[in-house]
Structure 1
């Protein structure tokens, strides 16, 4: 029994080592998404991809990381934005991740796992044989050696992919006319972090690496970057100014208010500092100070939609939805009806509880989801206004849209069926209800199969 418990422990450890990290929450902000798209589009084009088909997604995670996970999406942790000093550093990371996409590394990672599984399976068979022969210690040694070989095989495969992505990223930066200085600077930060934390730079010392050593990456790329014509090209000051705003907004949103106010003290009257403090004061329910900061920003740039959005958000979330309408209407206008900002306006219109505002709310929210279907908040608000206006079938349809995006597949299927029953047969909304119902059912069955329960999908 003791041997069996050790075997199970090793199996569990191996599974944990190859499973992807649990999904973190996605941070959606109109200004941040516009900025990330703007700095990545030249790189996307240099990679031979269509900018509209590549998503840059911000994840609420304080660790310094970025990854691709299938399709054409680059996921960036909030900790990476916080650690970067310039937009050029972030561009270096994005270029590297695009190298993973164009190299098909997510698809090919299965090759590495299959090879590793071969090592693991052979060692497990040999270990079981030794255990049956009464050699418990030898059995454990064989299984440990096999697991070590399997892990080494996986990591060697991923290191090769990382080196390939580095080379591709350097090529895309060059084609886009963007300096690689930021890429080297950021790798230097990672190297310094490793040294401070006492990580060994010697693989033989037992520090397993999923990436090439940062020092090696810097040495391999420096010669390439320094020969590139873009090496001495200065960073775009407008882009860098926008980046400082993004960093400040992110700090104000995710950090503790006391930390934000320490990093952006009152004597700092720069635009990024005002943005950061507005969010920090808002989180502390110091509405007057938050609005004072927002008003200073609007005074500097009266038609900036993101400053107007900030003021509207503070007013709305402080229980003054009527006062939030003017800045949010202007923000929607100046942003050309950006869906996330328009969704906030729709929410404010509903929150007034004035029925005269419901028609505008429906119009604004329908336009928002037409441009951005993957916005559960907007779908929820649209469902609220449909219900308030007595249109229950479309309220159920909006609920189904929101629920399927929130992985509430059983609820989505029931909401879609209820919507379908009340909508005109053959109408676009009726067809959409059918599509959501079938999508939700298929996803339920996939989850059931993943759990090995072939009957659970039929029981729902």
Structure 2
């Protein structure tokens, strides 16, 4: 690797771009895709619940969102939402490790770090702008070297101030996470294990662990974090608390499921060879075979899982998904209907069941599809796929205004704001004035217009 040389004349622009990028870093979700899976979402909620209670936040107000990103990361970006990258779940070895990360992120929420981050970014930009003004003044006075020195000093002060502030926040949040683990009666071993893994990764990638190297980082060195936390966690009464075996079993299954869904089939088979007959391995291979269009093998893996747990709703969902996406929607109805019943109408599974009912192209199934899909979106409005399927039902029945409204719901969630605005306006024109659907069409129009204005103002 070679160092990147930045010409002196572009240093100011570089620094301003750096702080602009940092400001945007707290809201990166818009550029990434969210993964929705009923089983994984339930697992993350159950893993986080005791930690949320220990943090004195209200569990019903905190969301855990899974991001389709292979990097090992988790973050908060405003509000009470923790975003977890798929790569983090893939890298962790235990549910306890993930709980250590969740405890840390909850510390960011309780401390209001996103708001403070924005304030500190503004302050650092102020230092940069002041240095630019001083540099311009010196240049106008004919002191070119002094002008460059003022700009460089300003850049260094601003960046150093910002990084030090961020490292201090992260260190404080580590301590908050340790408190929440203790308050929840959960061992801190997983937190230390995860930091150990991060330190090993830093060393393998050639990152220095020296004190001097820490000054250019947004986070403290993993080794420093371990040193700070080890005594605190080991002295806690929960240190020797054994992990929850059921939670660990669920974690390994969800981890394998996620890997099977996201990774290339060949890589899945290398990690989970056919000789491995554990539940996680069969779960992962079912998705790998499905992606590789080996339908019978995929169904066989799903059936083998159901042979061990016939009433596991997620195994039933898996079989239904394989059959549905392989062009056999009629065969998918039985396992999906059973999965919906067992989960009391879980919205994501119900959305898939509604899709299967529509995909049979049997109009006799459309009444049930409408009931199932309306129930799904009433419990989880942030389900664009279910809205799309509901629109298909309305269109098939000639109810075009409600079909347009369903399209608008789906489009605004997918950030397709021009289309959402047109669909909402068309729906509003055809719906009874003052009805709940008519009011909702107006709301979507306002939301889409506001989003379009923000986009225009940012250009």
Q: TM-score, with normalisation over the residues of structure 1?
A: 0.94
| CA gap 1:281/1:325 in 2 versus in 1, 3 angstroms | same
1:19 counterpart SS class: helix
Query: Equivalent residue for 1:152?
Result: 160
| CA gap 1:345/1:87 in 2 versus in 1, 3 angstroms | same
Q: What is the rounded CA distance, in whole Å, between the counterparts of 2:145 and 2:214 in structure 1?
A: 22
Q: What is the rounded CA distance, in whole Å, between the counterparts of 2:22 and 2:454 in structure 1?
A: 24
Q: What is the rounded CA distance, in whole Å, between the counterparts of 1:150 and 1:84 in structure 2?
A: 35
Cα drift, residue 413 of structure 1: 1.6
Cα drift, residue 447 of structure 1: 2.1
Q: Where in structure 2 are the equivalents of 1:158-169 lying within 5 Å?
A: 158-169=166-177
| CA gap 1:136/1:7 in 2 versus in 1, 3 angstroms | farther
Query: Equivalent residue for 2:20?
Result: 15
Q: What is the rounded CA distance, in whole Å, between the counterparts of 2:16 and 2:172 in structure 1?
A: 31
Q: Does 1:303 align with 2:311?
A: yes
User: What is the total number of aligned residue pairs between the two structures?
Assistant: 450
Asked if 1 retains the 8 angstrom alpha-carbon contact of 2:332 and 2:356, the reply is yes
Selected match of 2:113 from 105, 112, 123: 105
Question: Could you list the per-position Cα deviations for residues 256-276 of structure 1 after superposition, in whole angstroms to 9, with x for gaps in the alignment?
Answer: 110110000001111000000
Q: Where in structure 2 are the equivalents of 1:202-351 lying within 5 Å?
A: 202-205=210-213, 208-351=216-359
Question: Could you list the per-position Cα deviations for residues 200-232 of structure 1 after superposition, in whole angstroms to 9, with x for gaps in the alignment?
Answer: 123534762111121111111111111111100
Q: What is the rounded CA distance, in whole Å, between the counterparts of 1:302 and 1:381 in structure 2?
A: 28
Q: What is the rounded CA distance, in whole Å, between the counterparts of 1:336 and 1:132 in structure 2?
A: 73
Q: Does 1:33 align with 2:35?
A: no
Asked if 2 retains the 8 angstrom alpha-carbon contact of 1:358 and 1:389, the reply is no
Unmatched runs of 5 consecutive residues or more in structure 1: 452-460
Question: Could you list the per-position Cα deviations for residues 418-455 of structure 1 after superposition, in whole angstroms to 9, with x for gaps in the alignment?
Answer: 1111111221111111111122222222222222xxxx
Q: What is the rounded CA distance, in whole Å, between the counterparts of 2:281 and 2:444 in structure 1?
A: 44
Q: Does 1:200 align with 2:205?
A: no
Query: Equivalent residue for 1:455?
Result: none
Selected match of 1:413 from 421, 427, 436: 421
Cα drift, residue 49 of structure 1: 1.1
Asked if 2 retains the 8 angstrom alpha-carbon contact of 1:199 and 1:207, the reply is no
Larger displacement relative to structure 2 (105-114 or 181-190): 105-114
Query: Equivalent residue for 2:374?
Result: 366
Q: What is the rounded CA distance, in whole Å, between the counterparts of 2:146 and 2:260 in structure 1?
A: 56
Asked if 1 retains the 8 angstrom alpha-carbon contact of 2:303 and 2:319, the reply is yes
Unmatched runs of 5 consecutive residues or more in structure 2: 1-6
Cα drift, residue 46 of structure 1: 0.9
Q: TM-score, with normalisation over the residues of structure 2?
A: 0.95
Q: What is the rounded CA distance, in whole Å, between the counterparts of 1:205 and 1:240 in structure 2?
A: 36
Asked if 1 retains the 8 angstrom alpha-carbon contact of 2:16 and 2:125, the reply is no
Asked if 1 retains the 8 angstrom alpha-carbon contact of 2:163 and 2:215, the reply is no
| CA gap 1:9/1:72 in 2 versus in 1, 3 angstroms | closer
Query: Equivalent residue for 1:394?
Result: 402
Asked if 1 retains the 8 angstrom alpha-carbon contact of 2:214 and 2:221, the reply is no
1:383 counterpart SS class: helix
Question: Could you list the per-position Cα deviations for residues 385-438 of structure 1 after superposition, in whole angstroms to 9, with x for gaps in the alignment?
Answer: 110111111001101111111111222122111111111122111111111112
| CA gap 1:206/1:57 in 2 versus in 1, 3 angstroms | closer
Q: What is the rounded CA distance, in whole Å, between the counterparts of 2:11 and 2:217 in structure 1?
A: 25
Q: What is the rounded CA distance, in whole Å, between the counterparts of 1:87 and 1:46 in structure 2?
A: 18
Asked if 2 retains the 8 angstrom alpha-carbon contact of 1:203 and 1:209, the reply is no
Cα drift, residue 140 of structure 1: 3.4
Q: What is the rounded CA distance, in whole Å, between the counterparts of 1:205 and 1:47 in structure 2?
A: 33
Q: What is the rounded CA distance, in whole Å, between the counterparts of 1:297 and 1:363 in structure 2?
A: 30
Query: Equivalent residue for 1:46?
Result: 54
Q: Where in structure 2 are the equivalents of 1:116-155 lying within 5 Å?
A: 116-155=124-163
Query: Equivalent residue for 1:423?
Result: 431
Q: Does 1:79 align with 2:60?
A: no
